[in-house]
């Protein structure tokens, strides 16, 4: 299936590892040009070098940025405009599911979780929307099934991810038909140095029990499976899809009912 992504200009935040890295690789494989953004400069530089080695220097840009920083976004958007003349797809992927199991975490902790899991997405949308309005492009948020159901994830993280789903629906309704806005709610996705990798190292038997008990598919998802969903939602093949939240969780939220 031709997804018509060749030469599309795609911005992905949190793209130096895990789901973000996999999405960047998938879009490059489809012929797109990709802008990598991450706050960890060393890891971002290595990822950019990996992609340039395979796909060429002219198809990859990389910027170190705190995606919640409005002023930093101004510089990045100006440089993207100068280099590539615009943007077709923006994917807000930054997030951190680590946190306490308090029913209501203290105010500082809650604010920090909101900053990393919602404000980063909000500012990504604010910065990229002017360019997406020009190109008639699409905006994709990466949420979580923790934003859909009470599955035992940290409260602050879950509330922020729920807000992303609400933001998706509001923006989609109000930006149509010019810009499409969707989100993906992944379930438990394993990748090296991710949160589930940490949990496995701490208690592998407990993690195995959690996955086999709660996920009908009896396994973790992998980043490439989320990337495949992102490719479709950001492609011309999904031209009539906006305001949707695509759940990719091996049936976990289905099993709750």
The CATH class for the domain spanning 9-186+222-245 reads alpha beta
For 209-221, how does the pLDDT look when each residue is reduced to its tens digit (9 = 90+)? 989 988 999 999 9
pLDDT at 257: 46
Tokens of 152: 């035992």
Which residue has better confidence, 239 or 201?
Answer: 239
pLDDT at 202: 83
Ranges of each domain in the chain: 9-186+222-245, 192-220
| Strand arrangement, sheet containing 138-142 | 60-64, 33-38, 9-13, 89-92, 138-142, 180-186, 245-248
- The least confident of 65-69, 149-153, 220-224 is 149-153
Is 23 within 8 Å of 12 (Cβ atoms)? yes
**What does pTM read for this prediction?**
0.94
CA–CA distance, 12 with 90 (Å, rounded to integer): 6
High-pLDDT (> 90) share of the chain, %: 80
- The least confident of 46-55, 58-67, 70-79, 146-155 is 146-155
Does residue 256 register a pLDDT over 70?
Answer: no
Question: DSSP string spanning 231-256?
Answer: HHHTSGGGTT--S-EEEESTTTTGGG
For 182-199, how does the pLDDT look when each residue is reduced to its tens digit (9 = 90+)? 999 999 998 888 787 888
Question: DSSP string spanning 214-233?
Answer: H-TT-S-B-HHHHHHHHHHH
């Amino acid at each position: 299936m031709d997804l018509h992504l060749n030469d599309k200009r795609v911005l992905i935040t949190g793209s130096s590892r895990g789901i973000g890295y996999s999405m960047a690789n998938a879009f490059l494989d489809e012929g797109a040009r990709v802008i990598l953004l991450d706050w960890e400069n060393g890891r971002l530089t290595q990822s950019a070098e990996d992609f340039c080695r395979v796909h060429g220097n002219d198809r990859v840009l990389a910027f170190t940025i705190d995606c919640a920083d409005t002023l930093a976004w101004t510089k990045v958007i100006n440089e993207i405009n100068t280099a590539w003349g615009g943007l077709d797809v923006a994917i807000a992927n930054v997030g951190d599911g680590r946190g306490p199991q308090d029913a209501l975490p203290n105010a500082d902790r809650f604010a920090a979780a909101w900053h990393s899991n919602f404000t980063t997405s909000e500012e990504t949308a604010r910065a990229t929307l002017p360019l997406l309005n020009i190109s008639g492009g699409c905006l994709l948020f990466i949420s979580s099934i923790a934003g859909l159901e009470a599955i035992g994830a940290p409260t602050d993280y879950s509330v922020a991810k729920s807000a992303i789903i609400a933001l998706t629906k509001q923006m989609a309704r109000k930006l149509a038909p010019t810009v499409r806005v969707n989100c993906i709610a992944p379930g438990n996705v394993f990748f090296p140095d991710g949160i589930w990798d940490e949990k496995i190292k701490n208690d592998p038997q407990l993690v195995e029990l959690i996955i086999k008990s709660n996920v009908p598919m009896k396994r973790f998802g992998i980043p490439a499976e989320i990337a495949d969903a992102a490719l479709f939602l950001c492609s011309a093949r999904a031209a009539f899809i906006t305001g949707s939240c695509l759940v990719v969780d091996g049936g976990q939220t289905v099993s709750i009912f």
